[in-house]
Amino acid sequence: MEQRVIDTLRNVFELNGFIGIETRAVEQGSSLLKKGETSKEIYLLSRLQEVGHESDTPIEDRLGLHFDLTVPLSRYVVEHSGDLAFPFKRWQIQKVWRGERPQEGRFREFVQADIDVIGNGDLPDHYEVELPLVMVSALERLREFGLPKATVHANNRKLSEGFYRGLGLTDVEGVLREIDKLDKIGADEVAKLLVEGCGANENQARACLELAELTAANGADLAEKFDALCAKHDIAADSDAYVLARQGLDTLAMIVDEAARIRPGSVIADLKIARGLDYYTGSVYETFLDGAASLGSICSGGRYDNLASQGNKKYPGVGLSIGLSRLVSYMLHAAGAHANRVSPASVLVAVWNEADRSASNVIANQLRARGIAADVAPTAAKLGKQIKYADKLGVPYVWFPSDAAEDGVGDEVKNIITGDQQPADARSWEPDTVYARQTVTVEA
Protein backbone atom coordinates (compact mmCIF):
# COMPACT_ATOMS: atom_id res chain seq x y z
CA MET A 1 0.00 0.00 0.00
CA GLU A 2 2.80 2.42 0.86
CA GLN A 3 4.22 2.48 -2.66
CA ARG A 4 0.76 2.96 -4.16
CA VAL A 5 0.15 5.91 -1.81
CA ILE A 6 3.52 7.40 -2.75
CA ASP A 7 2.70 7.07 -6.45
CA THR A 8 -0.67 8.76 -5.93
CA LEU A 9 0.80 11.66 -4.00
CA ARG A 10 3.61 12.16 -6.50
CA ASN A 11 1.12 12.21 -9.36
CA VAL A 12 -0.98 14.93 -7.70
CA PHE A 13 2.06 16.99 -6.76
CA GLU A 14 3.44 16.89 -10.29
CA LEU A 15 0.03 17.69 -11.79
CA ASN A 16 0.29 20.92 -9.80
CA GLY A 17 3.76 21.78 -11.10
CA PHE A 18 5.90 20.63 -8.18
CA ILE A 19 9.41 19.34 -8.94
CA GLY A 20 10.73 16.24 -7.19
CA ILE A 21 14.07 16.36 -5.41
CA GLU A 22 16.02 14.04 -3.11
CA THR A 23 18.49 15.23 -0.49
CA ARG A 24 21.14 13.40 1.53
CA ALA A 25 20.17 11.71 4.76
CA VAL A 26 23.04 13.24 6.75
CA GLU A 27 23.18 16.91 7.75
CA GLN A 28 25.41 19.08 9.92
CA GLY A 29 24.26 19.35 13.53
CA SER A 30 24.15 23.14 13.23
CA SER A 31 21.60 22.81 10.42
CA LEU A 32 19.52 20.24 12.29
CA LEU A 33 19.22 22.56 15.29
CA LYS A 34 17.93 25.49 13.21
CA LYS A 35 14.29 24.60 13.81
CA GLY A 36 14.66 24.59 17.57
CA GLU A 37 14.89 20.81 17.97
CA THR A 38 16.81 19.39 20.92
CA SER A 39 19.73 17.01 20.70
CA LYS A 40 17.54 14.23 22.08
CA GLU A 41 15.46 14.28 18.89
CA ILE A 42 18.46 13.88 16.57
CA TYR A 43 20.29 10.66 15.76
CA LEU A 44 23.94 11.72 15.76
CA LEU A 45 26.56 9.80 13.79
CA SER A 46 30.13 8.87 14.58
CA ARG A 47 32.81 6.69 13.03
CA LEU A 48 33.92 3.62 14.96
CA GLN A 49 37.29 5.10 15.88
CA GLU A 50 35.54 8.12 17.41
CA VAL A 51 33.36 6.12 19.82
CA GLY A 52 33.90 7.36 23.35
CA HIS A 53 34.87 10.88 22.31
CA GLU A 54 31.50 12.19 21.14
CA SER A 55 31.03 14.34 24.23
CA ASP A 56 34.15 16.30 23.33
CA THR A 57 32.55 17.67 20.15
CA PRO A 58 29.63 20.13 20.20
CA ILE A 59 26.48 18.84 18.52
CA GLU A 60 26.63 21.74 16.07
CA ASP A 61 29.93 20.34 14.71
CA ARG A 62 28.76 16.75 14.39
CA LEU A 63 26.72 14.92 11.78
CA GLY A 64 23.22 13.54 12.24
CA LEU A 65 20.35 11.95 10.33
CA HIS A 66 17.71 14.42 9.18
CA PHE A 67 14.53 14.31 11.25
CA ASP A 68 12.40 16.12 8.65
CA LEU A 69 12.70 17.35 5.06
CA THR A 70 12.41 21.11 5.64
CA VAL A 71 15.91 21.62 7.03
CA PRO A 72 17.51 19.76 4.07
CA LEU A 73 15.36 21.85 1.71
CA SER A 74 16.60 25.13 3.20
CA ARG A 75 20.21 23.99 2.70
CA TYR A 76 19.44 22.77 -0.83
CA VAL A 77 17.89 26.10 -1.81
CA VAL A 78 20.86 28.11 -0.51
CA GLU A 79 23.39 25.83 -2.22
CA HIS A 80 21.58 25.80 -5.58
CA SER A 81 19.99 29.26 -5.56
CA GLY A 82 21.84 30.26 -8.72
CA ASP A 83 20.35 27.35 -10.66
CA LEU A 84 16.76 27.43 -9.39
CA ALA A 85 13.79 29.25 -10.91
CA PHE A 86 11.89 31.05 -8.16
CA PRO A 87 9.33 30.57 -6.78
CA PHE A 88 10.73 27.04 -6.45
CA LYS A 89 7.99 24.43 -6.04
CA ARG A 90 9.28 21.10 -4.81
CA TRP A 91 7.92 17.78 -3.62
CA GLN A 92 10.02 15.33 -1.66
CA ILE A 93 9.20 11.88 -0.29
CA GLN A 94 11.97 10.31 1.78
CA LYS A 95 12.77 8.50 4.99
CA VAL A 96 13.54 10.54 8.10
CA TRP A 97 14.77 9.54 11.55
CA ARG A 98 13.56 10.94 14.84
CA GLY A 99 14.25 10.24 18.51
CA GLU A 100 10.76 8.92 19.24
CA ARG A 101 9.74 6.26 21.73
CA PRO A 102 8.28 3.60 19.38
CA GLN A 103 4.54 3.16 19.87
CA GLU A 104 1.40 3.11 17.75
CA GLY A 105 1.66 5.94 15.24
CA ARG A 106 5.18 6.90 16.39
CA PHE A 107 8.26 5.57 14.60
CA ARG A 108 11.99 6.16 14.82
CA GLU A 109 12.34 5.63 11.09
CA PHE A 110 9.51 6.66 8.79
CA VAL A 111 8.63 8.18 5.44
CA GLN A 112 7.57 11.81 5.11
CA ALA A 113 5.91 13.47 2.10
CA ASP A 114 6.43 17.22 1.73
CA ILE A 115 5.51 20.02 -0.65
CA ASP A 116 6.97 23.51 -0.33
CA VAL A 117 7.16 26.71 -2.34
CA ILE A 118 10.25 28.85 -1.76
CA GLY A 119 10.58 32.47 -2.87
CA ASN A 120 13.63 34.62 -3.49
CA GLY A 121 13.32 37.70 -1.28
CA ASP A 122 9.53 37.55 -1.15
CA LEU A 123 6.72 35.05 -1.69
CA PRO A 124 3.13 35.97 -2.68
CA ASP A 125 0.54 34.94 -0.11
CA HIS A 126 -1.61 33.17 -2.71
CA TYR A 127 0.69 30.17 -2.21
CA GLU A 128 -0.71 29.96 1.32
CA VAL A 129 -3.99 28.98 -0.34
CA GLU A 130 -2.52 26.81 -3.07
CA LEU A 131 -0.58 24.42 -0.86
CA PRO A 132 -3.40 23.30 1.47
CA LEU A 133 -5.64 22.84 -1.58
CA VAL A 134 -3.02 20.66 -3.27
CA MET A 135 -2.78 18.54 -0.13
CA VAL A 136 -6.56 18.25 0.12
CA SER A 137 -6.62 17.15 -3.53
CA ALA A 138 -3.95 14.53 -2.84
CA LEU A 139 -5.76 13.23 0.24
CA GLU A 140 -9.00 13.14 -1.74
CA ARG A 141 -7.31 10.78 -4.19
CA LEU A 142 -6.41 8.51 -1.28
CA ARG A 143 -10.08 8.04 -0.44
CA GLU A 144 -10.09 5.16 -2.93
CA PHE A 145 -8.04 3.35 -0.27
CA GLY A 146 -10.74 4.02 2.31
CA LEU A 147 -9.25 7.22 3.76
CA PRO A 148 -11.95 9.49 5.29
CA LYS A 149 -12.52 13.08 4.15
CA ALA A 150 -9.74 15.47 5.16
CA THR A 151 -10.21 19.08 6.32
CA VAL A 152 -7.41 21.62 6.76
CA HIS A 153 -7.65 23.80 9.90
CA ALA A 154 -5.77 27.07 9.42
CA ASN A 155 -4.61 29.92 11.63
CA ASN A 156 -2.08 32.74 11.33
CA ARG A 157 0.72 33.38 13.80
CA LYS A 158 0.52 37.16 13.32
CA LEU A 159 -3.13 37.11 14.35
CA SER A 160 -2.32 35.17 17.51
CA GLU A 161 0.78 37.20 18.33
CA GLY A 162 -1.04 40.52 17.91
CA PHE A 163 -3.84 39.39 20.18
CA TYR A 164 -1.48 38.13 22.89
CA ARG A 165 0.52 41.38 22.79
CA GLY A 166 -2.72 43.32 22.95
CA LEU A 167 -3.46 41.49 26.19
CA GLY A 168 -0.07 42.57 27.54
CA LEU A 169 1.71 39.21 27.15
CA THR A 170 5.34 39.28 25.99
CA ASP A 171 6.31 35.57 25.88
CA VAL A 172 4.47 34.99 22.61
CA GLU A 173 6.43 31.88 21.62
CA GLY A 174 5.80 30.36 25.03
CA VAL A 175 2.06 31.03 24.77
CA LEU A 176 1.97 29.44 21.31
CA ARG A 177 3.76 26.34 22.56
CA GLU A 178 1.26 25.92 25.39
CA ILE A 179 -1.80 26.58 23.20
CA ASP A 180 -0.45 23.88 20.86
CA LYS A 181 -1.08 21.38 23.68
CA LEU A 182 -4.82 22.06 23.91
CA ASP A 183 -5.99 18.87 22.24
CA LYS A 184 -3.61 16.77 24.32
CA ILE A 185 -4.12 18.11 27.84
CA GLY A 186 -7.27 20.25 27.74
CA ALA A 187 -8.08 23.91 28.44
CA ASP A 188 -7.67 23.87 32.23
CA GLU A 189 -4.17 22.43 32.10
CA VAL A 190 -3.15 24.85 29.36
CA ALA A 191 -4.47 27.78 31.39
CA LYS A 192 -2.38 26.61 34.33
CA LEU A 193 0.75 26.42 32.14
CA LEU A 194 0.11 29.91 30.76
CA VAL A 195 -0.01 31.30 34.29
CA GLU A 196 2.92 29.32 35.64
CA GLY A 197 5.27 29.50 32.67
CA CYS A 198 4.28 32.43 30.45
CA GLY A 199 3.61 35.22 32.91
CA ALA A 200 -0.14 35.37 32.25
CA ASN A 201 -2.73 36.17 34.90
CA GLU A 202 -6.00 34.24 35.07
CA ASN A 203 -7.90 36.71 32.86
CA GLN A 204 -5.17 36.76 30.21
CA ALA A 205 -4.98 32.98 30.18
CA ARG A 206 -8.75 32.69 29.71
CA ALA A 207 -8.65 35.30 26.94
CA CYS A 208 -6.02 33.21 25.12
CA LEU A 209 -8.32 30.19 25.39
CA GLU A 210 -11.27 32.25 24.11
CA LEU A 211 -9.23 33.11 21.01
CA ALA A 212 -8.39 29.44 20.55
CA GLU A 213 -12.09 28.59 20.57
CA LEU A 214 -12.82 30.81 17.54
CA THR A 215 -13.65 28.99 14.32
CA ALA A 216 -15.19 30.29 11.11
CA ALA A 217 -16.02 29.05 7.63
CA ASN A 218 -15.66 32.46 5.96
CA GLY A 219 -13.61 35.62 6.34
CA ALA A 220 -16.45 37.97 7.27
CA ASP A 221 -17.59 35.72 10.10
CA LEU A 222 -14.00 35.42 11.32
CA ALA A 223 -13.45 39.19 11.33
CA GLU A 224 -16.69 39.84 13.19
CA LYS A 225 -15.90 37.30 15.92
CA PHE A 226 -12.33 38.50 16.30
CA ASP A 227 -13.27 42.19 16.59
CA ALA A 228 -15.87 41.33 19.20
CA LEU A 229 -13.26 39.46 21.22
CA CYS A 230 -10.78 42.36 20.95
CA ALA A 231 -13.45 44.80 22.15
CA LYS A 232 -14.25 42.52 25.07
CA HIS A 233 -10.62 42.58 26.20
CA ASP A 234 -9.97 46.27 25.48
CA ILE A 235 -7.56 45.79 22.58
CA ALA A 236 -7.75 49.12 20.75
CA ALA A 237 -8.23 49.08 16.99
CA ASP A 238 -5.46 51.69 16.56
CA SER A 239 -2.86 49.81 18.61
CA ASP A 240 0.23 48.21 17.04
CA ALA A 241 -0.87 44.86 18.44
CA TYR A 242 -4.26 45.06 16.71
CA VAL A 243 -2.65 46.15 13.41
CA LEU A 244 -0.35 43.10 13.52
CA ALA A 245 -3.26 40.81 14.37
CA ARG A 246 -5.33 42.29 11.56
CA GLN A 247 -2.58 41.52 9.04
CA GLY A 248 -2.77 37.88 10.04
CA LEU A 249 -6.56 37.92 10.07
CA ASP A 250 -6.74 39.37 6.55
CA THR A 251 -4.44 36.66 5.21
CA LEU A 252 -6.37 33.94 7.01
CA ALA A 253 -9.70 35.32 5.73
CA MET A 254 -8.30 35.33 2.20
CA ILE A 255 -7.22 31.69 2.53
CA VAL A 256 -10.58 30.52 3.84
CA ASP A 257 -12.63 32.46 1.28
CA GLU A 258 -10.49 31.52 -1.71
CA ALA A 259 -10.42 27.87 -0.67
CA ALA A 260 -14.22 27.92 -0.32
CA ARG A 261 -14.55 29.12 -3.92
CA ILE A 262 -12.37 26.29 -5.21
CA ARG A 263 -13.07 23.42 -2.77
CA PRO A 264 -15.96 24.31 -0.42
CA GLY A 265 -15.46 23.04 3.12
CA SER A 266 -11.86 21.95 2.57
CA VAL A 267 -10.22 24.70 4.68
CA ILE A 268 -11.64 26.32 7.83
CA ALA A 269 -10.30 28.94 10.22
CA ASP A 270 -9.44 27.40 13.58
CA LEU A 271 -7.60 29.72 15.97
CA LYS A 272 -6.37 27.03 18.32
CA ILE A 273 -3.93 25.84 15.64
CA ALA A 274 -0.57 27.09 16.89
CA ARG A 275 2.23 24.82 15.62
CA GLY A 276 4.69 25.06 18.50
CA LEU A 277 7.83 25.36 16.36
CA ASP A 278 9.31 28.84 16.57
CA TYR A 279 10.24 29.30 12.92
CA TYR A 280 6.69 29.71 11.58
CA THR A 281 5.93 33.37 10.84
CA GLY A 282 2.49 33.41 9.21
CA SER A 283 -0.13 30.86 8.24
CA VAL A 284 -0.10 27.52 10.06
CA TYR A 285 -2.06 24.38 9.19
CA GLU A 286 -3.21 21.11 10.71
CA THR A 287 -5.22 18.53 8.78
CA PHE A 288 -7.73 16.15 10.35
CA LEU A 289 -9.73 13.18 9.07
CA ASP A 290 -13.47 12.84 9.66
CA GLY A 291 -14.17 10.27 12.36
CA ALA A 292 -10.50 9.84 13.28
CA ALA A 293 -10.06 12.31 16.14
CA SER A 294 -7.75 9.97 18.05
CA LEU A 295 -5.32 10.00 15.12
CA GLY A 296 -4.78 13.74 15.45
CA SER A 297 -3.34 15.81 12.63
CA ILE A 298 -2.09 13.83 9.63
CA CYS A 299 -0.65 16.76 7.68
CA SER A 300 0.79 20.00 9.04
CA GLY A 301 2.94 22.97 8.13
CA GLY A 302 2.91 26.69 7.56
CA ARG A 303 4.65 29.83 6.37
CA TYR A 304 8.29 30.44 7.33
CA ASP A 305 10.21 33.55 6.31
CA ASN A 306 13.54 33.13 8.10
CA LEU A 307 14.57 29.48 7.89
CA ALA A 308 16.67 29.77 4.72
CA SER A 309 18.99 32.74 4.17
CA GLN A 310 22.24 33.67 2.47
CA GLY A 311 23.84 36.85 3.77
CA ASN A 312 21.17 39.52 3.59
CA LYS A 313 19.07 37.50 1.16
CA LYS A 314 16.17 35.47 2.53
CA TYR A 315 14.22 32.66 0.95
CA PRO A 316 10.72 32.66 2.50
CA GLY A 317 8.63 29.58 2.08
CA VAL A 318 5.39 27.81 2.84
CA GLY A 319 5.07 24.06 3.13
CA LEU A 320 3.03 21.10 4.28
CA SER A 321 4.14 17.65 5.37
CA ILE A 322 2.43 14.26 5.69
CA GLY A 323 3.82 11.64 8.07
CA LEU A 324 3.27 9.03 5.39
CA SER A 325 4.24 5.91 7.38
CA ARG A 326 1.84 6.89 10.15
CA LEU A 327 -0.94 7.53 7.64
CA VAL A 328 -0.35 4.20 5.86
CA SER A 329 -0.37 2.42 9.21
CA TYR A 330 -3.80 3.92 9.93
CA MET A 331 -5.04 3.03 6.45
CA LEU A 332 -3.91 -0.59 6.82
CA HIS A 333 -5.79 -0.93 10.10
CA ALA A 334 -8.87 0.79 8.67
CA ALA A 335 -8.86 -1.15 5.41
CA GLY A 336 -9.82 -4.43 7.05
CA ALA A 337 -9.94 -7.35 4.62
CA HIS A 338 -8.38 -5.36 1.79
CA ALA A 339 -5.20 -4.67 3.74
CA ASN A 340 -3.75 -8.17 3.31
CA ARG A 341 -2.63 -7.86 -0.29
CA VAL A 342 0.93 -9.12 -0.43
CA SER A 343 1.11 -9.10 -4.23
CA PRO A 344 0.45 -5.98 -6.31
CA ALA A 345 -1.35 -8.14 -8.87
CA SER A 346 -5.11 -7.72 -9.28
CA VAL A 347 -5.44 -10.93 -11.28
CA LEU A 348 -3.88 -14.39 -11.22
CA VAL A 349 -4.27 -16.15 -14.57
CA ALA A 350 -4.79 -19.86 -14.02
CA VAL A 351 -2.94 -22.53 -16.02
CA TRP A 352 -4.88 -25.64 -17.03
CA ASN A 353 -1.75 -27.56 -18.00
CA GLU A 354 1.85 -26.69 -18.80
CA ALA A 355 1.28 -27.18 -22.53
CA ASP A 356 -1.20 -24.25 -22.41
CA ARG A 357 0.96 -21.90 -20.29
CA SER A 358 1.66 -19.69 -23.31
CA ALA A 359 -2.09 -18.98 -23.64
CA SER A 360 -2.16 -17.85 -19.99
CA ASN A 361 0.89 -15.64 -20.59
CA VAL A 362 -0.86 -13.98 -23.56
CA ILE A 363 -3.86 -13.13 -21.37
CA ALA A 364 -1.63 -11.73 -18.61
CA ASN A 365 0.25 -9.57 -21.11
CA GLN A 366 -3.00 -8.23 -22.57
CA LEU A 367 -4.12 -7.19 -19.08
CA ARG A 368 -0.73 -5.61 -18.27
CA ALA A 369 -0.79 -3.65 -21.52
CA ARG A 370 -4.00 -2.01 -20.25
CA GLY A 371 -2.49 -1.17 -16.87
CA ILE A 372 -4.01 -4.09 -14.93
CA ALA A 373 -1.40 -5.83 -12.77
CA ALA A 374 -1.48 -9.56 -13.52
CA ASP A 375 0.47 -12.67 -12.58
CA VAL A 376 0.39 -16.21 -13.91
CA ALA A 377 0.02 -19.29 -11.72
CA PRO A 378 3.45 -20.82 -11.02
CA THR A 379 2.31 -24.40 -11.73
CA ALA A 380 -0.58 -26.17 -13.40
CA ALA A 381 -1.74 -27.51 -10.04
CA LYS A 382 -5.33 -28.41 -9.28
CA LEU A 383 -7.58 -25.40 -9.65
CA GLY A 384 -8.32 -25.27 -5.93
CA LYS A 385 -4.62 -24.96 -5.17
CA GLN A 386 -4.22 -22.14 -7.68
CA ILE A 387 -7.13 -20.27 -6.08
CA LYS A 388 -5.62 -20.88 -2.62
CA TYR A 389 -2.30 -19.48 -3.89
CA ALA A 390 -4.06 -16.31 -5.11
CA ASP A 391 -5.87 -15.97 -1.79
CA LYS A 392 -2.62 -16.25 0.18
CA LEU A 393 -1.15 -13.41 -1.87
CA GLY A 394 -4.30 -11.33 -1.49
CA VAL A 395 -4.95 -11.34 -5.26
CA PRO A 396 -8.72 -10.74 -5.58
CA TYR A 397 -9.34 -12.21 -9.06
CA VAL A 398 -8.51 -15.55 -10.70
CA TRP A 399 -8.76 -15.71 -14.47
CA PHE A 400 -9.80 -18.96 -16.13
CA PRO A 401 -8.68 -19.18 -19.80
CA SER A 402 -11.10 -20.80 -22.23
CA ASP A 403 -10.81 -24.56 -22.14
CA ALA A 404 -10.22 -25.91 -25.63
CA ALA A 405 -11.71 -29.20 -24.49
CA GLU A 406 -15.10 -27.53 -23.89
CA ASP A 407 -16.60 -26.01 -27.03
CA GLY A 408 -18.31 -22.66 -26.61
CA VAL A 409 -16.77 -21.88 -23.20
CA GLY A 410 -14.81 -18.59 -23.25
CA ASP A 411 -12.61 -16.95 -20.64
CA GLU A 412 -14.12 -16.36 -17.20
CA VAL A 413 -12.90 -14.42 -14.17
CA LYS A 414 -13.77 -15.13 -10.55
CA ASN A 415 -13.73 -12.64 -7.69
CA ILE A 416 -12.54 -14.96 -4.95
CA ILE A 417 -13.61 -12.47 -2.25
CA THR A 418 -17.27 -12.25 -3.29
CA GLY A 419 -17.48 -15.55 -5.20
CA ASP A 420 -18.91 -13.82 -8.30
CA GLN A 421 -17.80 -15.39 -11.61
CA GLN A 422 -18.43 -13.81 -15.01
CA PRO A 423 -17.39 -14.21 -18.69
CA ALA A 424 -14.49 -11.90 -19.50
CA ASP A 425 -12.34 -10.62 -22.35
CA ALA A 426 -8.77 -9.54 -21.55
CA ARG A 427 -9.04 -6.74 -24.11
CA SER A 428 -11.89 -4.97 -22.30
CA TRP A 429 -12.41 -6.37 -18.78
CA GLU A 430 -11.93 -4.01 -15.83
CA PRO A 431 -11.66 -4.96 -12.13
CA ASP A 432 -14.01 -3.30 -9.65
CA THR A 433 -12.38 -0.13 -8.33
CA VAL A 434 -12.18 -1.37 -4.74
CA TYR A 435 -10.17 -4.41 -5.87
CA ALA A 436 -8.04 -2.66 -8.49
CA ARG A 437 -5.73 -1.06 -5.93
CA GLN A 438 -2.22 -2.39 -5.64
CA THR A 439 -2.53 -2.33 -1.87
CA VAL A 440 0.60 -4.17 -0.84
CA THR A 441 1.14 -4.67 2.89
CA VAL A 442 4.44 -3.30 4.21
CA GLU A 443 6.11 -3.18 7.59
CA ALA A 444 5.40 0.26 9.11
List residues forming the annotated binding site: 68-70, 98, 112, 116, 275, 279-280
Numbered residues of the known binding site for L-histidine: 68-70, 98, 112, 116, 275, 279-280
What's the rounded Cα separation, in Å, for the pair 212 and 274? 9
Which residues, 6+ apart, have CB-to-CB distance to 136 below 8 Å?
150, 151, 152, 263, 266, 267, 287
Question: Residue ranges of the alpha helices (H) in 264-382?
Answer: 324-334, 357-369
Identify whether the C-beta of residue 411 lies closer than 8 Å to the C-beta of residue 425: yes
What's the rounded Cα separation, in Å, for the pair 158 and 363? 61
Helix (H) or strand (E) run with residue 109 in it: strand 109-118
Identify whether the C-beta of residue 110 lies closer than 8 Å to the C-beta of residue 326: yes
Strands 283-289 and 150-156: antiparallel
- How many other C-beta atoms lie within 10 A of the C-beta of residue 328? 27
CA dist list (Å): 41 to 29, 94, 328, 345: 11, 18, 23, 39
What's the rounded Cα separation, in Å, for the pair 296 and 220? 28
Among 72, 73, 153, CA closest to 119: 73
CA dist list (Å): 152 to 129, 267, 325, 359: 11, 5, 20, 51
